[in-house]
Chains A and B, each alone.
Chain A
Amino acid sequence: MHVTSRQFKDNARGAVADANLRQSLATMKTGFRAKRGVAVAALPEFEALREAGKAMKDHTLAHLDHYLERFEEKVTASGGHVHWAPDADAACRTVLDICRRHNARLVTKGKSMVAEEIELNAFLQKNGIEPVETDLGEYIIQLRHELPSHIIAPAIHVRKDQVADSFRDTHTQFPADRPLEEPRDLLDEARTVLRDRFLTADVGITGANMLIAETGSTVIVTNEGNGDLTQLLPRVHIVVTSIDKVVPTLEDSSIVLRLLARSATGQPMSTYTTFSTGPRRPEDPDGPEHFHVVLLDNGRSRMLGTQVQDVLRCIRCAACINHCPIYGAVGGHAYGSVYPGPIGSVLTPGLASLEEAANLPNASTLCGRCEAVCPMKIPLPRMLRHWREEEFARHLVPARARWGLRLWAFTARRPALYRFGTGLAARALRLLGGRRGRLARLPLAGGWTRVRDLPVPEPGGTFMARYKRRETH
């Protein structure tokens, strides 16, 4: 997993100044947020479903080995194969081996964040296999050689006219002067191009929104139908997924399905919900001849039994991302991880390392909106704070900030010393800015004064001093 979160601050500075991005993010806020709000308000049992989802996933995570083994048994019994991949490299090699065994040259792909996490496309390309994304958003960013900037709307940062430019550059088989101004034109062209790919692909790769232990089924939810064509038309279907996606029973999957689309896009259900169980049986009219599931760990099992285990309940709906004011200000690319927003800031240090994910746990005001909208009730602020504590304990925090805090804490535990300090500060700040009531600049406070003035204390000293005076006079 390639993480560039060390550049977060620089990325963020560029992002907040990007007018195009600002416009895309504004649309996201009004769109996703409003639609979720309407969908949730229309479902009286939404809170009860959240509780049920949390309890079901907590139970599953407590018995994860059991349910994963049951899932494997059922997949095998239905004629499929499960491949355990401890890390990204193992997962990529497994996929490549399967492709090579079937002499695959062209691979179609449904949307999969796990495939993004393991950077599967680059790996396949390096090894002479052409992967083609079939989700429109993923297809657009593939053409633009970009990473997704959102886990359910990967091309949310791309404007319509930029899509048209990419299509003109790539689809040179069409007349150069064709109209591509309307979304419909873009959709039709993508559909025409992709249809041929669906029909000629040797292998179809999808992710999975869930794995059902009881039946050995994998579940995908999509709105474009591309996932179904990806997994049904080629001879081989490979599901690239991770161990945290398993749920015990078919019935349990309905809890997640009822929460997922409502939290994500505000739909009661996605347009397509598809359950795949093994390869095509003799009596089936269609379906793949071979069915493989690559089960990725990549740091997830390490999180079990720790302070961040709860993040494994995540169903990747992106509600936390859509409601995050930080994401809303900087967009997804600034994070430097394929998982942006609050969920990414908790997940990335666990999947990669705290060192590589530097900045991410701190890039939050802990405003709590992510937890408030999370359908699985993941306590994201608590876990962000946990990573901050790890950073502090492991001396990953800059020495100046560290000693500043310790000095402040030393003083704050000694009221007499503290009163002396605050009295001094009140006087000093008033000397500097008393005339205007505020300061535009102050040594050592550049972080504050870069974007706002610092109001100075009221005249007459601190509350404690004035209260005491009033009492004794």
Chain B
Amino acid sequence: MQSSAAPSSPPSAPAPPAAPRVALFVTCLADLFRPTVGFAALRLLEQAGCVVSVPEGQTCCGQPAYNSGDRADARAQAKAMVEALNAEAVDYVVAPSGSCASQIRHHYPVLLADDPALAARARHLADKTHELVSFLVDVRGWTDVTARLDAAVTYHDTCSGLRELGIKDQPRALLSKVAGLELRELAAAEECCGFGGTFCVKYPDISGRMVGDKADDIAGTGAGLVLGGDLGCLLNIAGHLKRRGSAVQARHVAEVLAGLTDGPAIGEADPTVEHGR
């Protein structure tokens, strides 16, 4: 697999007055497990003519609490992120994750609906928040992908992005512009991979069967790389592919679009790093 980075400078520097201000919500999983996704998002947003900031106080959108029935903590986390992301200071908030973007867009306004101080701010944040790839295509109308990747890839539609945000065509539109890339569709592209947040550790047997079926479908395409828009799903898929000894690699779609595919794929050994660090 050959890859080469795209030029990193934005199309027009300094940014024109109309350049939208975007706050990047990097998401907790990208922050901890896959900083490359955060840097890929930065690069893509800049290529699309945005002025990007990374709000200091951001941590996690709160899905672990929300989907476990811990509404009090989910609310508290929503409050903390409404304040940290401070949507009033920017034009958009963008996250490289369908499920985290959906948590903010669809669930924060519900969680904070009866909070007199924050209901309006939560609504405001929700309206400004987008998932990265759909933001690039739908909001920015951006298709100037300069990345190259000589590889056959397949794409997994992650559930929240697909069904809560309608993300289906946007990643395909951008991937079709990546030079050298051949997209092969999955047999059951809209079937859940079995991640489901805490579900995957509460019900490992079921989750294992689901991700096993997904891995079979991935293998069925003959592609050497699987892409997706949510790191939770990708950690699940990559972890299972590695467990069964598969050579198929997994990456976040933003890494490919930004041309940041020189480093190891998710869960792969890094030949340049000895140990520890």
Q: Which residues of A contact B (CB under 8 A)?
A: 9, 12-13, 16, 325-326, 329-330, 362-369, 371-372, 385, 387-393, 397, 401-402, 405-406, 408-409, 412-413, 415, 418, 422, 425-426, 430-431, 434-438, 440, 445-448, 450-464, 466-467
Select the residue from B36, B68, B160, B213 with max chain A CB neighbours within 10 A.
Answer: B68
Number of contacts between A and B (CB, 8 Å)? 219
User: Binary interface profile of B, 174-193, with partner A (CB < 8 Å = 1, else 0)?
Assistant: 00000000000000001110
CB distance from A119 to the nearest CB of B (A): 27
CB pairs A–B below 8 angstroms (13 shown): A325-B210, A366-B159, A366-B199, A367-B159, A367-B192, A369-B190, A397-B68, A401-B68, A415-B84, A440-B243, A451-B204, A462-B31, A464-B54
Task: Bin the interface of chain B by size.
Answer: 35 or more
Query: Which chain A residue shows the least CB distance to B34?
Result: A458
CB distance from B259 to the nearest CB of A (A): 17
Determine whether B30 belongs to the interface, using a CB cutoff of 8 Å to chain A. yes
Task: Give the residue of B36, B58, B159, B208 whose beta carbon is less than 8 angstroms from that of A368.
Answer: B159
A9 to B203, CA, bound (A): 7
Given A392-B69, A453-B243, A466-B35, verify A459-B277 contact (CB < 8 Å): yes
Check if B32 sits within 8 Å of A454, measured CB to CB: no
CB distance from A115 to the nearest CB of B (A): 30
Check if B76 sits within 8 Å of A413, measured CB to CB: yes
Select the residue from A329, A365, A387, A388 with max chain B CB neighbours within 10 A.
Answer: A365
Chain A residues within 8 Å of B269, by CB: 435-437
A397 to B273, CA, bound (A): 42
Given A409-B77, A453-B239, verify A368-B163 contact (CB < 8 Å): yes
Check if A16 sits within 8 Å of B277, measured CB to CB: no
Check if A457 sits within 8 Å of B204, measured CB to CB: no
Query: Which chain B residue shows the least CB distance to A405?
Result: B70
Check if B204 sits within 8 Å of A448, measured CB to CB: yes
CB distance from A264 to the nearest CB of B (A): 20
Chain A residues within 8 Å of B88, by CB: none
User: Binary interface profile of B, 208-229, with partner A (CB < 8 Å = 1, else 0)?
Assistant: 1111110000000000000000
Q: What is the predominant secondary structure among interface residues of chain B facing chain A? A: helix
Chain B residues within 8 Å of A402, by CB: 70
Chain B residues within 8 Å of A454, by CB: 235, 239, 267
Beyond the given pairs A454-B235, A458-B36, A464-B54, 15 more chain A to chain B contacts, judged by CB atoms under 8 angstroms and listed by A's residue number, are: A389-B69, A389-B70, A389-B71, A390-B69, A392-B71, A401-B198, A405-B70, A409-B65, A438-B242, A440-B243, A446-B204, A451-B204, A455-B238, A457-B35, A463-B37
A371 to B206, CA, bound (A): 21
Check if B76 sits within 8 Å of A409, measured CB to CB: yes
A243 to B68, CA, bound (A): 32
Chain A residues within 8 Å of B173, by CB: none
Determine whether B11 belongs to the interface, using a CB cutoff of 8 Å to chain A. no
Check if A422 sits within 8 Å of B163, measured CB to CB: no
A395 to B269, CA, bound (A): 42
Check if B209 sits within 8 Å of A329, measured CB to CB: yes
A367 to B197, CA, bound (A): 11
Query: Which chain B residue shows the least CB distance to A408?
Result: B64
Check if B205 sits within 8 Å of A16, measured CB to CB: yes
Query: Which chain B residue shows the least CB distance to A438?
Result: B267
Query: Which chain B residue shows the least CB distance to A461?
Result: B35
Chain B residues within 8 Å of A456, by CB: 33, 267
Q: What is the predominant secondary structure among interface residues of chain A facing chain B? A: helix
Determine whether B7 belongs to the interface, using a CB cutoff of 8 Å to chain A. no
Determine whether B120 belongs to the interface, using a CB cutoff of 8 Å to chain A. no
Task: Give the residue of B35, B199, B243 whose beta carbon is less than 8 angstroms from that of A460.
Answer: B35
CB distance from B215 to the nearest CB of A (A): 9
Chain A residues within 8 Å of B210, by CB: 325-326, 329, 365
Chain B residues within 8 Å of A431, by CB: 275-276
Task: Give the residue of A408, A425, A448, A453 whose beta carbon is less than 8 angstroms from that of B201.
Answer: A448
Task: Give the residue of B35, B163, B194 whose beta carbon is less than 8 angstroms from that of A463.
Answer: B35
Task: Give the residue of B34, B54, B163 whose beta carbon is less than 8 angstroms from that of A372.
Answer: B163
A413 to B80, CA, bound (A): 6
Chain A residues within 8 Å of B57, by CB: 415
Check if A437 sits within 8 Å of B76, measured CB to CB: no
Select the residue from A326, A393, A406, A440 with max chain B CB neighbours within 10 A.
Answer: A326
Chain B residues within 8 Å of A365, by CB: 159, 192, 194-197, 199-200, 210
Chain A residues within 8 Å of B34, by CB: 457-458
B33-90 contacts to A, CB under 8 A, are: 33-39, 54, 56-60, 62, 64-71, 73, 76-77, 80, 84
Check if B32 sits within 8 Å of A459, measured CB to CB: no
Check if B267 sits within 8 Å of A453, measured CB to CB: yes
Query: Which chain B residue shows the least CB distance to A410?
Result: B73
Check if B59 sits within 8 Å of A451, measured CB to CB: no
Query: Which chain B residue shows the least CB distance to A471?
Result: B54
Chain B residues within 8 Å of A393, by CB: 69, 71
Query: Which chain B residue shows the least CB distance to A390?
Result: B69
A435 to B56, CA, bound (A): 31
A409 to B73, CA, bound (A): 6
CB distance from A404 to the nearest CB of B (A): 9
Check if B276 sits within 8 Å of A451, measured CB to CB: no
Query: Which chain A residue shows the least CB distance to B240?
Result: A452
Given A451-B208, A453-B267, verify A405-B66 contact (CB < 8 Å): no
Chain A residues within 8 Å of B73, by CB: 405-406, 409
Check if A413 sits within 8 Å of B77, measured CB to CB: yes
Check if A445 sits within 8 Å of B201, measured CB to CB: yes
Determine whether B26 belongs to the interface, using a CB cutoff of 8 Å to chain A. yes
Check if A392 sits within 8 Å of B163, measured CB to CB: no
Query: Which chain A residue shows the least CB distance to B41?
Result: A463
Check if B242 sits within 8 Å of A453, measured CB to CB: yes
Chain A residues within 8 Å of B154, by CB: none
Chain B residues within 8 Å of A460, by CB: 35, 277
B219-277 contacts to A, CB under 8 A, are: 235-236, 238-240, 242-243, 263-264, 266-270, 273, 275-277
Chain A residues within 8 Å of B277, by CB: 430, 434, 459-460
CB distance from B41 to the nearest CB of A (A): 10
Select the residue from A391, A447, A450 with max chain B CB neighbours within 10 A.
Answer: A447
Check if B243 sits within 8 Å of A388, measured CB to CB: no
Chain B residues within 8 Å of A425, by CB: 32
